[in-house]
Structure 1
């Protein structure tokens, strides 16, 4: 695919439907794929962190999670037409797994969070095959690897926070039968009902960031990455 690049960071211009269609084919072809969410905060951080930049660019799909990436693409005449958020991408993969019979493994978050998230997911998708799960506090990593292998998982969601979750995926994916890995940050908390997303009208117009800022003013330092990112994109020749 032809990816767009902003400040040295690649971004996939594909929609949810295009990504899931490709992933379904890649699973059939026995190819491994990784998905990482990209936003202005992460792109800014990567400017002083070559390891983070390589981690992002080394993924199969860099989804445009932040509205700033969407705006940058429009300013530069790119092909990104809409955001592809991490939590919604996860939901599309859950739906695909339920429809195609893929086995799903969940790793990360607190025990009560991941177990409740799975319970709610099973209510939404009764036919989904949960291969297994483990909370994010497991100490024996070798036992975890063995558990995932024994589970014969096809899709795996890792919720350890970024970039820790992507580092874990990169370090272990070749030892696992999993075909699709996605680092999902706090998405388990959303599925567990512990964290509320912005109302649909905010998400529809790309103002989820504003809702989060209004409800949690402490996020202001993180949100400052947006104007800084757009300024650099606009002024870059």
Structure 2
């Protein structure tokens, strides 16, 4: 089930229901594309038809942003739980370890996917990370061969948005994995190179505030939230 906020589809699934659906996709050898939705992306999509099309082409648009939850609540929708990109990735890693599904980590600086692999193996004993490849490999034939030879079921692509989503759309039909998720800087966070907001901020949906306190230059980006809420609440889309 999905809701539409300013023309952008947003899934109502929580972590458990989405994970269950993705496991079925893997078992049935079907493709599934996950994209994270936040207020900044929705506002940008208003003036960028290609971005709007990209976001709506995903199979699952997870509500990664407290503003999306608030907009749904104000409009009488059913989205009540944030599903963040990094936590969705970790949930899938946990599930993959339990169900013997293989994972591939693609993207980031040279060595970063390997560092994330080490941490994930510590976090989820038994996890099968079938391959890693940094995002600076230019030869797409090399990329495709590495991914397909791994026989991975799930691939996490860390290139930043929308580059990672565009890559997924362009390549997923010729690749082995069933589940595709763009994860931005998640390899950096998992490997410990970038500090995530404390859990107290995460639970309150205030990771944006923590980032703003640490990086005041983000104020221009964060200023989009009140604009988003006003437009989302007053719009019929």
1 CA distance for matches of 2:169 and 2:233? 33
1 CA distance for matches of 2:60 and 2:171? 18
Can you list the C-alpha shifts for 1:17-45, whole angstroms capped at 9, x where unaligned?
00001111111111110100000000001
SS of equivalent to 1:173: helix
1 CA distance for matches of 2:65 and 2:125? 31
> In the alignment, what sits opposite 1:67?
66
Count of aligned pairs: 236
Per the normalisation by structure 2, the TM-score is 0.98
> In the alignment, what sits opposite 1:11?
10
> In the alignment, what sits opposite 2:230?
231
Give the gaps of 5 or more residues in structure 2: none
Displacement of 1:212 after TM fit? 0.8
SS of equivalent to 1:138: coil
1:1-237 correspondence to structure 2 within 5 Å: 2-237=1-236
Displacement of 1:234 after TM fit? 2.0
Structure 1 segments, 4+ long, off by >4 Å, are none
2 CA distance for matches of 1:236 and 1:181? 31
Give the gaps of 5 or more residues in structure 1: none
SS of equivalent to 1:106: strand
SS of equivalent to 1:111: coil
Displacement of 1:205 after TM fit? 1.0
2 CA distance for matches of 1:22 and 1:235? 33
Displacement of 1:183 after TM fit? 0.2
1 CA distance for matches of 2:235 and 2:14? 26
Q: What is the root-mean-square deviation of aligned Cα atoms in Å? A: 0.8
1 CA distance for matches of 2:63 and 2:26? 22
SS of equivalent to 2:164: helix
